[in-house]
Amino acid sequence: MKIKKLIMVILIAVCMVAGLTGCATYDNFKDTFFAGKGAGADTIKIGVLEPTTGENSSYGKAEIRGIEIAHKLHGKVLGKKVELVYEDTQSSIYTTQSAIQNILEKKPAVVLGTYGDACSLAAGEYLRDAKVPGITITATNPLDTENNDYYFRTSFSEAIQGYAIAEYAVKYLKQNKVAVVSVEGDDTVSDMVNNFTRKCQVTCEEYQIKQDGSNLQDSIEQIEASGAKTIFMATSFDSGKTFAEELDRLKIQGVTIIGPKEWRNNKLLSLQGRIKGIKIAVASDFNGETADTKNYKEFTEAYQKKYGNKNQDQGTAMAYDAYMLAIEAIDKAGSTDGTKVRDALAKTRDYSGASGVITFNKLGAPSKPVNIDVISGGAFKTVYVYKVK
């Protein structure tokens, strides 16, 4: 015991001299050196790979909230305590590569996350090679899970959003002319835009905004001249916010903007509150109005008790589900062996989660409906449901 304490003291000193207090080297040493001793022998680890710094930190923290709510309520599996081990991707694909390696060195049974399609793609390669299953929570790129038997998702793909939003615009809003807006050079939305235009079957004109926004007003004036009253914004929330504020500044009213599911957060509630003459709709994984499952009730009560806010971020609800799916798979596998847990996840059928009913298809994606929400009375309200066939 004295030798172990001495080695620990030396390693801590090395980290402090190098300015690396709390460094991964120390964590990895501790996990390896004391494996099988004390609390570690009674612990099952689940990795949490999320951005807590950088441009996507707010989204990463929203997902972490859901994971931690589920962990607090369900902190044991197979008779052992579940320990969450964290790594910050810093919203960077390059940091993600080192962060996922650090987590894998800690021998997790499952890894949850990460936010962002590019970072999820980077993490997926390491999960597949290590044969450790992962569940990405809000990433929508189909490539995240395609050709990777060890990666699953709790969100529908960006391509499905295109179909759902088009059906909403034509069937529900009864539009015969729509505009589609994207940012020049953004290839990540191409599937969503292509599926929207394919499904739309009415006059559909596409517009591209330059990345510096220099043609923003010109594009808006062209859309107004076309007579289109519904605009699908296949952009980030920040770009959509700038577009909506410019519409408001130009006093263009009576228009409906539809955004992808990334927009469904409290920032959108604030934006709609400031812009009265423009209606904003958004795709959503989460339909709190129709949810009536044990997990939904449990999640909602715990969320409101801790945060006092009924408008949960959909990423938080899906992160809750990701943790619960991981726990359920470990329990069914009766093991933390990566292949066995992966096989149990692949057999998930009709899981009634906080964000909806989830059945994984052969590509690790959930067969779940796409909800279209509007904002009414300062809260999201589902007005249309697109059922995936």
168-223: per-residue pLDDT in tens? 999 999 999 999 999 999 888 888 999 999 999 899 999 999 999 999 999 999 99
In angstroms, the CA 260 to CA 389 distance is 20
Task: Say what the pLDDT of residue 90 is.
Answer: 97
pLDDT at site 83: 98
Q: Under a CB-based contact definition with an 8 Å cutoff, are residues 29 and 93 in contact?
A: no
Longest dimension (CA), the chain: 80
**Which pLDDT score is estimated for 313?**
81
Instruction: Note the pLDDT of residue 142.
Output: 83
| d(C-alpha 381, C-alpha 371), whole Å | 10
Question: Mind listing the pLDDT tens digit for each residue in 114-139?
Answer: 999 899 999 999 999 999 999 999 98
Cβ partners under 8 Å of residue 55, min gap 6: 91
pLDDT digits 0-9 by tens, 64-88? 999 999 999 999 999 999 999 999 9
Give the sheet arrangement for strand 134-136, strand by strand.
Answer: 76-77, 80-88, 43-50, 110-112, 134-136, 151-153
The sign of the CA dihedral 309, 311, 315, 318 is positive
What's the burial of 78, exposed, middle or buried (CB within 10 Å: 0-12/13-18/19+)? middle
The pLDDT of residue 289 is 60
E strand segments, the chain: 43-50, 76-77, 80-88, 110-112, 134-136, 151-153, 177-183, 203-209, 230-234, 255-259, 278-284, 351-353, 356-358, 370-376, 379-386
- CA atoms of 63 and 139, how far apart (whole Å): 11
Mean pLDDT of successive 10-residue segments in the chain (389 residues)?
47 44 45 43 94 95 96 97 98 97 98 94 96 94 90 87 94 96 90 92 94 95 96 96 96 96 90 94 78 83 86 86 98 97 96 89 88 92 86
The span from the CA of 386 to the CA of 298, in Å, is 26
Kindly list the distances between the CA atom of residue 154 and the CA atoms of 186, 199, 239, 357, in Å, as whole numbers in the listed order: 24, 24, 25, 10
What is residue 201's predicted lDDT score, i.e. its pLDDT? 86
DSSP track, 222-238: HHHHHT--EEEEES-HH
CA gap 156, 234 in Å, rounded:
16
- Decide if 377 contacts 177 (C-beta within 8 A): no
* Predicted local distance difference test score (pLDDT) of residue 9: 47
Give the dihedral sign, CA 324/330/332/334.
Answer: negative
Does this model's pTM top 0.75? My answer is yes
Q: Enter the DSSP assignment of 170.
A: I
**∠93-153-372 over CA atoms, to 5°?**
105
